Amino acid sequence: MPERTVVVTRPRAQADSLARAIAALGRRVAVLPLLEIAPLDDNSGLQAALRQLPSYALVAFVSPNAVDAAFAHLSAWPAGVPVAVVGEGSRLALARHGVTPDITTIHCPPDPANSDSEHLLASLDLAALAGKRVLIVRGERGRELMADTLRAAGALVEPVAAYRRSVPRLNAALASQLAGLLAGQNDWIITSSEALRGLEALVRELDPAAGPERLREQHLIVPHARIAETARALGCSRITLTGSGDARLLAAIQSQE
């Protein structure tokens, strides 16, 4: 049987360290970023919000990209300003920038298998945020659930865009790599529902007749239940749900050997 490839589909900035860890396990690995992350043309809104950090009762980051984009404009986090993140990757991104429980409260969903906005919101004391300012640092486009739920609880919510994300265009190089990976049965690490939907669109563009079925034959390794739901909605059934964090992803990969 041909050796299976582990396909890392994270944005490039977060993909390489995971790919190295997978290679260290002796597995063949391919990096295929399904979301491209780019800075905004105008960061004035983000910079203005960051200058007011001490006035916020809570600052929520929707992803590691949001954390990194904010800290491109920060030298340090103001002590005592509470933070909320939806997963282990964002918590580790905060730690890389010096934001740890030693200097402020960090809210995160308690169950690693359900690291998403719904479970983060369920873990917060929403009533305590009524009448208080909450900043949400996110991409240009994204779910409105967090903002809508906080507003319904009476919080004064201020979403701010920190970066732009998009699905890559199907150029010749990407088409060749994607066709090669779909020709066999491999292990795909999918860490975003948006990325998975983008992959399905790329596959349909590549091969409208056979592409979607070949995608459904692949084994998907996902950290969140919501991504698993997206995968099932697209007809995929070979799904391993790991929970949030690279350690759990790596353990799942080892179990496939």
Domains of the chain in start order, with CATH, are 5-35+167-255 (3.40.50.10090), 38-165 (3.40.50.10090)
Average pLDDT over residues 35-60: 95
Phi-psi region of 98 (alpha: psi -120 to 50; beta: other; left: phi over 0): left
Look at residue 170 and tell me whether its pLDDT is greater than 60: yes
Mean pLDDT, to the nearest integer, of 17-21? 93
What pLDDT, on a 0 to 100 scale, did the predictor assign at position 140?
84
Q: What is the pLDDT of residue 2?
A: 62
pLDDT, one tens digit per residue, over 184-231 is 999 999 998 999 999 999 999 999 999 999 999 999 999 888 899 999
pLDDT in tens, 110-145: 877 677 788 899 999 999 999 999 999 999 877 788
Count CA within 13 A, CB hemisphere, residue 174.
Answer: 15
pLDDT of res. 1: 47
Whole-prediction pTM: 0.79
Q: pLDDT higher for 152 or 245?
A: 152
pLDDT at position 246 over 90: no
Indicate the residue type of 211: G
User: pLDDT (tens digit, 9 = 90+) per residue, 55-99?
Assistant: 999 999 998 999 999 999 999 999 899 999 988 889 999 999 999
Amino acid (1-letter code) at residue 158: E
Tokens of 4: 């299976």
Which among 40, 62, 34, 37 is positioned nearest to 194, based on CA atoms?
A: 34
Pair 237, 216: CB distance under 8 Å: yes
Does residue 257 have a pLDDT over 70?
no
Q: What is the pLDDT of residue 13?
A: 80
Question: How far is Cα 214 from Cα 192, in angstroms, rounded to an integer?
Answer: 20
